[in-house]
């Protein structure tokens, strides 16, 4: 065996951290070896470092494919803050001027740039492909890799073109990263990127500090008001499916003396940003939102996540409840379930392409099974992510704490399957 490089030294020097989180170190060693790598790690686990550190250490430039311009900009700014050289990280996307693009290309060509973030739309542009053919590429990192899969919660068709474009630009190892861990999505990603032989690094998706509960949706608004009044000052996110419900519920809470604001994609950008900030800086305790809220939000002390409506998939449910208790402290996840809501969701799907409907239906069936089960919710949720939970009781879900009869029976599932 050759002597192992002291990665901690590199970590400290480049990022100021004293130790690695989870299995970051093994992942980084694997990337440094030039292997294809597949990383499944929950949000907040520290995926970015798994490609940032090796990119700094390896010869050439790492191409990072990332879906959101805002996330890209944050990451590049963060990288620049750590280092001395502004040219160490750049992004290439539709927001740049011609002059800025010229600067990026100059820095990349000179070898200064170790990380080049590219949106998939920009990657498909012929001029960029031609440019990248002239670049020495250390590896490709595909962040938010679930965007490749129709089974993921954020499917983006451009992501499916990544592999053919890599073939055009020039092959190099690929590291794919995601927090969307269902076995179907994983299979899809590896197949589409052509990295079936990749080394797979999978962290546990269990969140021991989260409590899961499903309540029959009878008098949800009243129960929510009661719960919030019993927990004054605690940060809470309430998810609703429709913008209309978001506004109604936020108003109702305010009328009842609760400091709450609304958030959905139909509001103008300034109001949305202001409401988000008021929640982050604790001028209000409660944000009532559609799923538009939360991408990239890192408020560590959210104590309660309520689903006024059941989400369209367990994947979404896991991501949204996952915003509770990021700091490791208490996190209560309460969802209100009624089979009528599921039927509504099913109705919304009509008119969509058949294949999409089939996927949507399957995802709904899994959601119903979760809502109606009398088994441990944690066990079911983790099973959904391909993970076995072997404890008899998790002591932190309604079914483990208060075993009960199923409240709507299995009829519902049977109708859906038909």
User: Residue numbers of the site for ligand ADP (CB under 6 A)?
Assistant: 17, 20-21, 24, 41, 43-49
Structure tokens at 369: 């099974």
Q: Smallest Cα–Cα separation from 139: which of 25, 33, 24, 45? A: 33
Neighbours of 116 (CB within 10 A): 23
Residue 41 touches which of ligand ADP, Mg ion, none (CB < 5 to 8 A by kind)?
A: ligand ADP
| CB nearer to ligand ADP: pick between 78 and 410 | 78
Residue 14 touches which of ligand ADP, Mg ion, none (CB < 5 to 8 A by kind)?
A: none
| CB nearer to ligand ADP: pick between 47 and 114 | 47
Residue 34 touches which of Mg ion, ligand ADP, none (CB < 5 to 8 A by kind)?
A: none
Minimal distance, residue 44 CB to ligand ADP, in Å: 5
Q: How many residues does the chain have?
A: 418
User: Are 259 and 284 in contact, with CB atoms under 8 Å apart?
Assistant: yes
C-alpha radius of gyration, the chain, whole number: 23
| CB nearer to ligand ADP: pick between 142 and 310 | 142
Residue 305 touches which of Mg ion, ligand ADP, none (CB < 5 to 8 A by kind)?
A: none
The residue with tokens 């001028």 is 283
How far apart are alpha carbons 339 and 361 in whole angstroms?
14
Residue 39 touches which of ligand ADP, Mg ion, none (CB < 5 to 8 A by kind)?
A: none
Pairing of strands 174-178, 286-289: unpaired
| CB nearer to Mg ion: pick between 75 and 396 | 75
Residue 159 touches which of Mg ion, ligand ADP, none (CB < 5 to 8 A by kind)?
A: none
How far apart are alpha carbons 152 and 147 in whole angstroms?
6
User: Interface with Mg ion by CB under 5 A: which range of 12-20, 26-34, 42-50, 404-412?
Assistant: 42-50
Minimal distance, residue 49 CB to ligand ADP, in Å: 4
Minimal distance, residue 27 CB to Mg ion, in Å: 13
Minimal distance, residue 95 CB to Mg ion, in Å: 20
Per 3-state DSSP, the chain is made up of helix, strand and coil in percentages (nearest 5) of 45, 15, 40
| CB nearer to ligand ADP: pick between 48 and 235 | 48
Residue 314 touches which of Mg ion, ligand ADP, none (CB < 5 to 8 A by kind)?
A: none
| CB nearer to Mg ion: pick between 145 and 253 | 145
How far apart are alpha carbons 378 and 394 in whole angstroms?
7
User: Interface with Mg ion by CB under 5 A: which range of 46-54, 146-154, 313-321, 383-391?
Assistant: 46-54
Please report, for residues 212, 330, 377, 408, the alpha-carbon distance to residue 401 in angstroms, rounded to integers and kept in the order given: 10, 16, 11, 19
Tell me the CB-side half-sphere exposure of residue 207, using CA atoms within 13 A. Answer: 28
Task: Report the interface residues with Mg ion, using CB under 5 A.
Answer: 47
């Amino acid at each position: 065996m050759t002597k192992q490089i002291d990665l901690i030294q590199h970590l400290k020097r480049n990022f100021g951290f004293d130790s690695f989180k989870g299995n970051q170190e093994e992942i980084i060693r694997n990337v440094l070896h030039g292997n294809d790598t597949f990383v499944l790690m929950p949000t907040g686990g520290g995926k970015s470092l798994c490609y940032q550190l090796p990119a700094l250490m390896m010869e050439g430039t790492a191409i990072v494919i990332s879906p959101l311009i805002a996330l890209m900009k944050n990451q590049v700014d963060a990288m620049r803050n750590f280092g001395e050289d502004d040219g160490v990280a750049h992004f290439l996307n539709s927001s740049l001027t011609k002059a800025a693009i010229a600067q990026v290309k100059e820095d990349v060509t000179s070898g200064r740039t170790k990380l080049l973030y590219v949106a998939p739309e920009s990657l498909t542009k012929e001029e960029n492909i031609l440019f990248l053919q002239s670049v020495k590429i250390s590896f490709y990192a595909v962040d938010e890799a679930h965007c490749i899969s129709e089974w993921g919660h954020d499917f983006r068709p451009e992501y499916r073109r990544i592999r053919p474009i890599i073939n055009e630009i020039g092959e190099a190892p690929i590291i794919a990263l995601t927090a969307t861990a269902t076995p179907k999505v994983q299979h899809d990603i590896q197949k589409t990127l052509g990295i079936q032989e990749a080394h797979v690094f999978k962290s546990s998706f269990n969140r021991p500090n989260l409590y899961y509960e499903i309540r029959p949706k009878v008098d949800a608004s009243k129960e929510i008001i009661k719960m919030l009044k019993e927990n004054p000052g605690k940060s809470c996110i309430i998810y609703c499916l429709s913008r209309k419900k978001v506004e109604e519920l936020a108003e109702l809470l305010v009328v009842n003396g609760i400091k709450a604001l609304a958030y959905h994609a139909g509001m103008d950008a300034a109001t949305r940003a202001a409401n988000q900030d008021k929640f982050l800086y604790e001028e209000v305790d409660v944000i009532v939102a559609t799923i538009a809220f939360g991408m990239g939000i890192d408020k560590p002390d959210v104590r309660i996540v309520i689903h006024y409506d059941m989400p369209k998939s367990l994947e979404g449910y896991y991501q949204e409840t996952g915003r509770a208790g990021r700091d490791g402290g208490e996190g209560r996840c309460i969802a209100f379930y009624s089979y009528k809501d599921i039927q509504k969701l099913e109705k919304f799907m009509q008119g969509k392409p058949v294949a999409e409907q089939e996927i949507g239906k399957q995802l709904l069936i899994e959601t119903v099974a979760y809502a109606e089960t009398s088994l441990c919710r944690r066990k079911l949720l983790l099973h959904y992510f391909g993970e076995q939970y072997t404890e008899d009781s998790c002591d932190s879900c309604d079914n483990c704490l208060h075993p009960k009869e199923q409240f709507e029976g299995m009829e519902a599932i049977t109708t859906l399957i038909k």
